[in-house]
């Protein structure tokens, strides 16, 4: 494989997100530029292989031709207080917000308050989507979706309310809100063969865990649903692959979940992918990590990630 490792970053998060407070990943350079390997730490080596394939595509391959030069994005609201949720949305410049719900230790009352605060910040014309990360049962999902839909004054969609496709289909039959599939696609043994059409109205695609922008574009075609491209919590280097996918989709009916650099206190590059008026420009290549020295992981973390990189690279051959 044609790449060299520049180092491992440690980017602190402003709020706990997906159970972590610091995000780690490996930055690598190849003949085409830069790439980023940042598979979530609870992923097995086999599940992490597509993440490395995406990084190699970025630094040693090419992305599909873009059909647009900028991407509309949503702001992302972690499982924070209602007051903080209002502040995040009001400062974002976005007209769409994705709100995390069903966080451990919080109740539906907390989620309703957060969603209502987001509606207040967006105004009546803004779009609100919520993400439960597959923690509800079917009955829990139906009850929660109805409550959150009322609190929002109408939800755009609910992302992965339950774990399985069968559960998503059951929820979809009982509610009037669109259902979006995320984990059901990206964690499937073969994303190209996941029959999501009867279980969801929207497909959430992430180029990084699907093996790169080109592979994810094939998955988009195979699933046959309107697609939203969403971040996998990368730095601006890895986020470039996601923007390349969003730029190459034949149609883009929804704002994408790519305005996530604001979740970090810093970035690995001065060319940070931060939205302006709710849009992100599509880069020709990933940015150079000029700020890596200031955000390097400690020696033990770097060793652990480089050992992981070696194991996953061996799986790719």
- Could you tell me which of 1, 14, 5, 7 has the C-alpha nearest to residue 260? 14
* Angstrom distances, CA of residue 28 to CA of 61, 186, 306: 13, 23, 11
193 is catalytic: no
CA 222/CA 213 separation, integer angstroms: 14
- State the catalytic residue, choosing from 23, 98, 186, 206: 206
Q: Is 260 exposed, middle or buried (0-12, 13-18, 19+ CB in 10 A)?
A: buried
Bridge partners of 72?
279
- State the catalytic residue, choosing from 23, 24, 98, 100: 100
CA 207/CA 241 separation, integer angstroms: 6
- Could you tell me which of 27, 84, 18, 93 has the C-alpha nearest to residue 58? 27
Tokens found for residue 195: 């029959």
- Indicate the annotated binding residues for Mg(2+): 131, 159, 182
Tokens found for residue 274: 């931060």
CA 89/CA 202 separation, integer angstroms: 23
Tokens found for residue 11: 């980017």
206 is catalytic: yes
Bridge partners of 205?
229
Annotated active-site positions, please? 100, 206
């Amino acid at each position: 494989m044609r790449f060299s490792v520049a180092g491992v970053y440690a980017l602190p998060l402003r709020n706990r997100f997906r159970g972590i407070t610091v995000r780690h990943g490996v930055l690598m350079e190849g003949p085409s530029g830069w790439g980023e390997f940042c598979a979530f730490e609870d992923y097995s080596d086999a599940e992490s292989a597509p993440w490395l394939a995406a990084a190699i595509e970025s630094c040693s391959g090419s992305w599909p031709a873009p059909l647009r030069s900028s991407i509309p994005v949503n702001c992302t609201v972690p499982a924070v207080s209602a007051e903080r949720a209002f502040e995040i949305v009001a400062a974002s410049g976005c007209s769409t917000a994705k709100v995390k719900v069903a966080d451990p230790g919080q109740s539906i009352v907390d989620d309703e308050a957060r969603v209502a605060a987001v509606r207040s910040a967006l105004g009546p014309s803004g779009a609100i989507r919520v993400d439960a990360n597959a923690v509800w049962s079917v009955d829990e999902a139906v009850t929660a979706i109805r409550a959150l839909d009322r609190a929002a004054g109408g939800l755009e969609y609910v992302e992965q309310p339950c774990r399985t496709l069968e559960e998503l289909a059951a929820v979809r039959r009982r509610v009037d809100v669109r259902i979006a599939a995320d984990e059901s696609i990206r964690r499937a043994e073969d994303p190209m063969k996941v029959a999501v059409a009867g279980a969801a109205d929207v497909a959430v695609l992430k180029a990084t865990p699907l093996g790169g922008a080109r592979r994810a574009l094939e998955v988009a075609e195979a699933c046959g649903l309107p697609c939203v491209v969403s971040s996998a919590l990368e730095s601006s280097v890895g986020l470039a692959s996601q923007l390349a996918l969003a730029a190459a989709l034949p149609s883009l009916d929804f704002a994408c979940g790519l305005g996530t650099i604001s979740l970090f206190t810093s970035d690995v590059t001065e060319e940070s992918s931060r939205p302006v008026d709710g849009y992100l420009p599509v880069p020709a290549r990933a940015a150079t990590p000029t700020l890596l020295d200031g955000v390097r992981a400690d020696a033990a973390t770097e060793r652990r990630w480089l050992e992981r990189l070696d194991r996953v690279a061996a799986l790719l051959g």
